[in-house]
Amino acid sequence: MKKPKKNVIIIGGGVAGLSAGIYARLNGFESTIFESNPTAGGVCSSWDKEGFYVNGSIHWVVGSEPGIDFYDMWSDLGVIPDNKFHNHNCFLECKNIEGVDVHFYLDSVKLKRHLTEISPLDSGLISEFIDGIRIMANANLPMERAFELLHAWDWSKTFIGHFPEVQVLGKFNQLSIRDFAKKFKSKILQKAFESFWSPEMSMGFFLIHMGYAHSGVTGYPLGGSGKFIESMVRRYTDLGGKFKFNQKASEILINKNRAVGIQTIDNTQHFSDYVISACDGHNVIFKMLKGEYVDEITKNSYRCLKTYPSLVYFSAGINRRFDNLNSSIIGINIPLIKPLKVGSFIHERVSFQIYNFDPSLSPKGKTLITAMLDTNYDFWKNLLSEGKEKYNHEKDRINHELLQSLEQEFQGISDQVEFLDSSTPLTYERWTGNHKGSYEGWLPTPKAAKSKISTHFKDLENFFMSGHWVIPGGGLPSAAYSGKEAIQLICKKEGIDFKP
């Protein structure tokens, strides 16, 4: 008699959960994803606003082209066949830093020439930076097997084969972007480098991404987050995967130190052979598991590591095409008319992504604009407790101050507005469940670069964690890889060969 297929329950229908579900089906497991929302996506979501399709997440996909193992993973997940990609020629455009525009070109030769023209006195440091990019452009970590399933010989081969990259990371992982920026004699270059993401991020993390971009494997999927997720959902359901939408998990069911299923907030119990969490790590460890079974090193990481800041996510629909504007991965970074207070954070410059390169997000002849502004969760939580009117008034104030600065850069834009909107950390918390509205888990600081976050625990069998809370830096490739890794570990436990 044929043995019944083992069953996997996955908590969360974002990129990590969908990846786990797809690889579960590819390897013969029954799979059910429990998603608290009516649709899949999590952080990687889009939404309709006045005829515009607001891209809520994706700037790029590492592995959009062959030549890197992530490409094979995205092919498995249904992303590559279903999406067309736009390739930028610039990472970030910084406008008017003391009257100078700084362009972070993806072409390292062009970038080196440009930065050296701005500050010949910094030519040595610029060369060091460019050399790091060129070396990291060759980085391709082995993705065939979960890292903990690699043998000593596998690690030796990886180390020997990537020795220059290991040297670069060993040197730059100890520095934050801010630390590196301070080394420049030029105040212009200092400010330009600090305009990338959070300046507390490790310089090694920055070089990895500049290297990927330089090697041409970081396209933007046209259609944004929504179309990207639709591809993964289609792949999952075509393979026979199941969803339970509007079903929020509240507890992981455990019997004799073994995960045996989950309980949802309506007190219904759902049983399985394995449980994979692909959702907020704080909630999993301190609520669903009640702080039990988890080792102290992992608990300490959750107490001490910095998370990505909470966000205000600004979006605007504009009746304008921006035909002559060059596109870049992060967007165009401009000075604000006056410092903008967002919670306790003060912003003097903001990066706006102007989607003139993706007309599918807007009605004909119009353009979507977005921006991400660091803020703090407690400010918005306290503000809402004082009443919805104050909360909405603060959102409106931020929207209009940002519009004033856009007007300075693009005259006439104020009269071309179709909508202005902002999502706050409370929006992220409500939609994704992420701790204090953090959008991507652990900030990849120099301290985080040394940290190993556990994905499973020796005192609890048949339970695995995935998602951006198990890999500092987060992002799409890490989330998808962590879902794949969870299934690889289950296959090992079941004594079967993993099939990509």
Chain segment 229-263, per-residue pLDDT in tens:
999 999 999 999 999 999 999 999 999 999 999 99
Strand bridging mode 7-11 / 274-277: parallel
Residue 482 lies in a domain: yes
Whether pLDDT at 141 is above 80: no
CA distance 248 to 269: 12
Give the position of tokens 């702080």: 291
Query: 388-409 and 377-385 are packed helices; what angle lies between their axes, rounded to 10 degrees?
Result: 130
- pLDDT number for residue 5: 84
**Contact present, 367 and 355 (Cβ < 8 Å):** yes
Is pLDDT above 90 for 3? no
Q: Is the CB of residue 375 less than 8 Å from the CB of residue 311?
A: yes
Give the pLDDT confidence score for residue 82 in this predicted structure: 87
Whether residue 499 is contained in a domain is answered as no
Number of domains in the chain: 3
244 with 202, same domain?
A: no
Q: How far apart are CA 50 and CA 249, in angstroms?
A: 33
pLDDT in tens, 356-401: 999 999 999 999 999 999 999 999 999 999 999 999 999 999 999 9
75 burial (CB, 10 Å; 0-12 / 13-18 / 19+) is middle
Q: What pLDDT was estimated at residue 439?
A: 82
pLDDT of 165 reads 81
Q: How far is CA 475 from CA 28, 167, 309, 472, in A?
A: 27, 24, 14, 9
Q: What is the pLDDT of residue 440?
A: 84
Cα dist from 45 to 14, 56, 223, 362, 439, whole Å:
9, 5, 11, 16, 12
Q: Are residues 126 and 169 in the same domain?
A: yes
Nearest to 475 by CA among 285, 208, 236, 195: 208
DSSP alpha helix (H) spans, 271-411? 281-283, 296-304, 377-385, 388-409
Q: How far apart are CA 373 and CA 5, in angstroms?
A: 46
Residues in Cβ contact with 397 at an 8 Å cutoff, skipping those fewer than 6 apart: none
Question: Does residue 425 lie in a domain region?
Answer: yes
Say if residues 323 and 356 touch (Cβ distance below 8 Å).
yes
> Domain boundary at 172, 192, 215, which?
215
Q: How confident is the model at residue 1 (pLDDT cuts 50, 70, 90)?
A: very low
Residue type, 13: G
Same domain membership, residue 460 and residue 344: no
CA 387 – CA 381 distance, rounded (Å): 10
Whether residue 188 is found in the same domain as residue 295: no
Res 30 pLDDT > 90: yes
- Same domain as 412, residue 314: yes
Residue 463: phi and psi, rounded to 5, are: -130, 135
Residue 474's pLDDT is 85
Q: Considering only CA atoms, which of 336, 281, 338 is closest in space to residue 308?
A: 281
Whether 354 and 459 map to the same domain: the answer is: no
Question: What's the pLDDT score for residue 251?
Answer: 97
In a domain, 53, yes or no: no
Same domain, 78 and 107: no
pLDDT reported for residue 36? 97
Instruction: Answer whether 434's CB lies under 8 Å from 403's CB.
Output: no
Range of the domain at 115: 88-215
**Residue 114 counted as domain residue:** yes
**CATH assignment at residue 17:** 3.50.50.60
Within a domain: 54: no
Q: Are 232 and 243 in contact (CB under 8 A)?
A: no
Q: For the sheet with 249-254, list strands across it.
A: 249-254, 259-264, 269-271
Check residue 4 and give its pLDDT. Answer: 66
Domain match, 152 and 72 both:
no
The 10s digit of each residue's pLDDT in 301-338 is 998 899 988 999 999 999 999 999 999 999 999 999 99
Residue after which a domain boundary falls, among 385, 409, 432: 432
The C-alpha atoms of residue 61 and residue 398 are separated, in whole angstroms, by 30
**55 assigned to some structural domain:** no
Q: Are residues 92 and 198 located together in one domain of the fold? A: yes
Output the pLDDT for position 441.
86
Indicate the residue type of 181: A
Beta-carbon contacts of 485 under 8 Å, excluding residues fewer than 6 positions away, are: 146, 147, 455, 466
CA-closest candidate to residue 172, choices 121, 128, 215, 138: 128
pLDDT band at 146 (very low <50, low <70, confident <90, very high): low
Domain end among 197, 215, 233: 215
**Six token digits for residue 209:** 């991404």
Helix or strand or coil: residue 486?
Answer: helix
Query: Using CA of residue 484, residue 485, residue 486, residue 487, what is the dihedral sign?
Result: positive
Q: What is the chain's mean pLDDT, rounded? A: 93
Residue % of the chain over a pLDDT of 90: 81
**Cβ contact 90:104 at 8 Å:** yes
Q: Which of 360, 483, 373 is nearest to 428 (CA)?
A: 373
Helices (DSSP H) in 27-174: which residue ranges?
A: 69-76, 79-82, 108-118, 123-136, 152-161, 163-172
Q: Which two tokens stand for residue 286?
A: 């301190």
> 59 in a domain, yes or no?
no
Shared domain for 301 and 447, answered yes or no, is: yes
Measured N-to-C along each axis, helices 15-26 and 69-76 cross at an angle, to the nearest 10 degrees, of 80
Q: How far apart are CA 467 and CA 469, in angstroms?
A: 5
Same domain, 165 and 251: no
Distances from the Cα of 111 to the Cαs of 108, 117, 134, 176, in angstroms?
5, 10, 12, 21
Together in a domain, 284 and 198: no
What are the structure tokens assigned to 184, written together? 């420049």
